[in-house]
Amino acid sequence: MIKQETKYKTKKEILSQMNIIYEKYVNYLTNIVISENNLNYKTILLFSILNRSLALIEAYKKLLPTNNLMVLNGLTRMQLDNCIFIHGAYILCKDNVEIEKICKNLLFKNKKIKEYNYKPRLTDSYIIQELDNIYHNNIKEMYKFYCNYIHFSDRALLSSSNIKEEKSNTILELSLCKDYKRFKKPVIVNGSSFVELSKFVLILLKNDWEKIEYNNIIA
């Protein structure tokens, strides 16, 4: 699924896919609400996850025409974070941690998945490795790549410079500018990855969370 990073060739195709994803999110939530006919902590988390994903999608859509690669890749890393939370919560539920407890701890204590007493510790890298083992995609490589756009790294240096060869001399150009046209081609590749990750959010919810039981009904 995520391996097909160059599946979409134009920005128009990428934007079109994002609109389709929004409709899939709405349909999924609508079916959940109709079938359950009550408010519970699992549904609250579902809405929160998809709302967060949708906010990232809307931001990506607005920034895509600018070719602002550093910020766009930061949004992709945040979309990866949604996938990490979904699967991490599923692992805890399989270990008999109630979904209500996960939601309440997050809401009232801001307790992270990695802070639970689970061995091995549910770090981001551990969960990513588990996803890679299950789905056999390149999500592990994607995680390493996009983390470089969250933390200050060589990517920040490379994105601010341009190396040219002139008469057997290597010239390093540094510039402070708002023109990101030089990133037009890599943005298409990374935009395709973002689309596939946004789809993966829903795939994980369907594969993992439909197996999670809830007990306490709020209303």
Residues 6+ apart with CB under 8 A from 104: 41
Instruction: Report the first-to-last Cα separation within the chain, whole angstroms.
Output: 38
Banded model confidence at residue 219, pLDDT cuts 50, 70, 90: very low
Listed as own residue / partner, the contacts of 179-186 with beta carbons closer than 8 Å and 24 or more positions apart are 180/66, 180/67, 180/68, 180/69, 181/67, 182/67, 183/67, 183/68, 183/69, 183/159, 184/67, 186/69
Residue predicted with more confidence, 12 or 214:
12
The percent of residues above 90 in pLDDT, for the chain, comes to 65
User: How high is the pLDDT of residue 39?
Assistant: 84
Banded model confidence at residue 1, pLDDT cuts 50, 70, 90: very low
User: How high is the pLDDT of residue 216?
Assistant: 62
Any domain includes 110: yes
170-193 pLDDT tens trace: 666 666 666 678 788 889 999 999
Banded model confidence at residue 28, pLDDT cuts 50, 70, 90: very high
Q: Cα 153 from chain centroid?
A: 20
Any domain includes 47: yes
Task: Determine if the peptide bond prior to 120 is cis (ω within 30°).
Answer: yes
Any domain includes 105: yes
Any domain includes 3: no
What amino acid is encoded at 52 in this protein? R
User: How high is the pLDDT of residue 34?
Assistant: 83
- Rounded to whole angstroms, the maximal C-alpha distance in the chain is 74
Token reading at 136 = 């056999």
Any domain includes 219: no
> Residues 160-170: what's their mean pLDDT?
62
Strands 169-174 and 161-166: antiparallel
Any domain includes 218: no
* Distance in angstroms (rounded) separating the CA atoms of residues 134 and 158: 34
Number of domains forming the structure of the chain: 1
Banded model confidence at residue 214, pLDDT cuts 50, 70, 90: confident
Q: Residue 17: is its pLDDT beyond 90?
A: yes
106-146 pLDDT tens trace: 999 999 999 999 999 999 999 999 999 999 888 999 999 99
The whole-chain average pLDDT of the chain stands at: 87
Token reading at 59 = 């931001």
Q: Which residue is listed with tokens 């979309």?
A: 79
Any domain includes 173: no
Q: Residue 156: is its pLDDT beyond 80?
A: no
User: How high is the pLDDT of residue 215?
Assistant: 72
Any domain includes 38: yes
Q: Which residue segment(s) compose the domain that 202 sits in? A: 11-151+184-211
